[in-house]
Structure 1
Amino acid sequence: MALQEKNTILLIEKSNNLRTVLRDYFELLKYQVKDCADIATAIRALKKDFYDITILDVGDDMEEGIKMMQAIFKLDPDMPIIIMSDNSDKLVKIQAFKEGCEDFLTKPFSIEELSLRVNVVLKRLHKLQAPHATKTREDIVLEFGLFTFNFSTAQLSCFNYSHTLTRKECDLLYLLVKNVNTIIPRETILREVWGEGRQDAGRSMDVYITKLRKYLNYQFFADKAKTGQLTKRKLAQMPKVQLVNIHGTGFMLKVED
């Protein structure tokens, strides 16, 4: 059985005590948690790694909280954010949802409630992984290079390790794999994966292309499966898989035997 990757949480909480309590609690629930005391630390973490969900404590300063959300969305436009706030004002909640938060909790609340809300958000997002999918696609398992892509479970596997893709990653990879070694125009990708009318879709697409490039690297899976460093000689013996940017045109998933 392939190893499964833990869901990752980016936790932004300025209170040392509460941050420690939340981190320890979610780690007991088998989440992988990156805890940050401020937005600057969180942004550095986002530039280095990808996270499934963000928990953001805005205290009673929603204006500053909105700035933090915008900074997060700039790096990952589709990041689900759960807001924790000291302010129970209805207008503050409405403002937070208008800015794109996924959920909003007013203090005090139980940690169990927060964990349940995190679980609900992640379940909902995984169920929506393939919004353009049809029944004929649900059972499709695609193989390319040394990778196996199970569309129905959104699992990308290699070296006996499985990585769970998000809904957007799943749709984007499906489009690329079904058109392997073929240039796909940016406009086609935007239309097929993001739909019409998304003004920020171009930036979002670039973020997800970067994510897929990371995953379509044999060393990523070798590290996760703990099989060791892949030497140049080993890599030369493996089918070459590249996500290529065709400047001014689009992208191509290039697979060579």
Structure 2
Amino acid sequence: MKQTAPANVLIVEDDRDISHLVELHLRDAGYNVDIAYDGADGLERALTKAYDLAILDLNLPGVEGLEICRRLRAKPSYPLILMLTARSSELDRVLGLEIGADDYLIKPFGIRELLARVKALLRRMEARSTSSDLCPEEEKVIRGGPLVIDADKRQVTLSGQDVNLTAKEFDLLFLLACHPARVYTRAQLLDLVWGMGYEGYEHTVNSHINRLRSKIEKNSAHPHYLLTAWGVGYKFASRDTWGDN
């Protein structure tokens, strides 16, 4: 039976007591763990080494956690991000999720809950190791007029020009394009793309759709591909309209 390599986890947390406690329990659970005590070191480590998961405090010296999250999400390949925050306001949580965090925990938190979140995130990553898992069809390259979505390369081009998408933007676009004319609710998209039901944070989907429209539509106010199903959610245009743009 094939052995799965232990996941590589980066902890970016300036509170050394919390860092060492989390490290101890993660190592006991079988993970490889590195620690950074400030944002600059954490960002450098995350950009230079392949991690499966980053446990990231928001309030860091040097470079704040939200900026680290933003920088990582601009890369084609990046780790899962579990945010740790003492900030309890909904605005901070929504902002973190919109930037691209996969989950969050509010301090103080229990170690058992953190380990459960870590395991759930890593299981989801393993179960859906490629974006093609979002699409049950054999088709790996989707062509919609001038828009081309390549699942294996995780690349999108528009009229031959590369479109720079974050990983979550790509996954969202690919899922919708795989099922043209099918309407998804925001809750369904959160569950399928983000992997968890972020109840109360459906605005995250709206923000990603708006950014996608700004990148692939000629006129984002009158979209050709990414359509709104009013009162329900979103859908990708039906195939018979793809060549009209």
Normalising by structure 1, we get a TM-score of 0.51
Are the equivalent residues in 2 in contact too, given 1:60–1:87 (CA < 8 A)? no
CA contact (8 A) 1:15 1:37 kept: yes
How many residues matched? 154
Shift of 1:77: 4.6
Q: Compared with structure 1, are the counterparts of its residues 60 and 86 closer, same or farther at alpha carbon in structure 2 (3 Å cutoff)?
A: farther
Match of 1:16 in 2: 16
Report the alpha carbon displacement of residue 100 of structure 1 after superposing the two structures with TM: 0.7
- Hey, what's the Cα distance between the residues in 2 that align with 1:130 and 1:74? 18
- CA RMSD after TM alignment: 3.3
1:97 corresponding residue in structure 2 = 97
How far apart are residue 80 of structure 1 and its match?
1.4
Shift of 1:16: 1.1
Alpha carbons of structure 1 residues 199 and 79: separation in structure 2 relative to 1, 3 Å: farther
SS class of match (1:87): coil
Task: Give TM-score, length-normalised by structure 2.
Answer: 0.53
Q: Report % sequence identity.
A: 19
Q: 2:88 is paired with a residue of what secondary structure?
A: coil
Alpha-carbon offset, residue 64 of structure 1: 2.9
Q: Equivalent residue for 2:164? A: 200
DSSP 3-state at the match of 2:65:
helix
> 1:208 matched to which residue of 2?
none
Partner of 1:57: 57
1:72 aligns with 2:79: no
Whether contact under 8 Å (2:10, 2:34) holds in the other structure is yes
- The superposition leaves residues 77-131 of structure 1 with CA deviations (integer Å, 9 ceiling, x where unpaired) of 5421111101111111111111111011111110110111111111112222244
User: How far did 1:47 drift?
Assistant: 3.9
Q: Which runs of 5+ in 1 are unaligned?
A: 138-171, 176-186, 205-257
Tell which deviates more after alignment, 114-123 or 66-75. Answer: 66-75
**C-alpha distance 64-136 of structure 1, shift in aligned 2 (>3 A):** closer
Partner letter of residue 117 of structure 2? R
Q: Which ranges of 4 or more aligned residues in structure 1 deviate by more than 6 Å?
A: 134-137
Structure number with higher relative contact order (C-alpha < 8 Å, ≥ 6 residues apart): 1
